[in-house]
Amino acid sequence: MMNQKNVKRHPVPQARRGTEAKSSDPYAKKGGIPEPAKCSACEAVYHHKRWYSKGDPVVIELQSEAFDRTICPACRKTQEHFPGGIVTLRGEFLDSHKDQILHQIRNEEVRAKGNNPQDGIISIKETERRIEIHTTSEKFAQRIGKEIHRAYKGEVNYNWTPDDKFVRVEWFRGAEKED
């Protein structure tokens, strides 16, 4: 039996919870971050308007510099649990492939972080019916959807907020478990 959850398209993007401004990411400082700056939590370095992970050759080259101390947007989003994206995985197929899929998502995180330390996982919540992954960036949530869909087929939908700062990604394969 079809229920609401099987509807493939959601014409109205789901608004992000909370009170944050619609027009901008409150974690992206308007005036910019002084450069070079180092995140006190993950040691990512901000240089030339982008973040590098601590093992990056760019960071190694900069190591003798005097860094401003800051907390990077990804670490703040993690600390405050303020996701840029939410990925929901559902359907019968998940039962038999859960470990494999979670393993792939963790691998994607390692790869994504190597490229941009602002991409990462805030939390993974498993229930009997679904897995919900909260990510620091909307781009990384989109990437998880894309990679899971490429590897396991099924159906994937992306619902962006009008300002493109938040995405809800829904992937499913196989019948939905009833509540």
Is residue 59 within the footprint of Zn ion (CB under 5 A)?
Answer: no
d(CA 127, CA 155): 20
Is residue 33 within the footprint of Zn ion (CB under 5 A)?
Answer: no
Please report the DSSP string for 51-103 in residue order: EE-TTSHHHHHTTTSPPEEE--HHHHHHHTT--SEEEEEESHHHHHHHHHHHH
Using the contact rule CB under 5 A, the part of the chain among 34-42, 132-140, 145-153, 162-170 near Zn ion is 34-42
Amino acid at 16: R
The count of residues interacting with Zn ion (CB under 5 A) is 6
Is residue 42 within the footprint of Zn ion (CB under 5 A)?
Answer: yes
Is residue 147 classed as helix, strand or coil in its secondary structure? helix
Give min distance, CB of 110 to Zn ion, in A.
16
Give min distance, CB of 84 to Zn ion, in A.
14
Interface contacts to Zn ion, rule CB under 5 A: 39, 41-42, 44, 72, 75
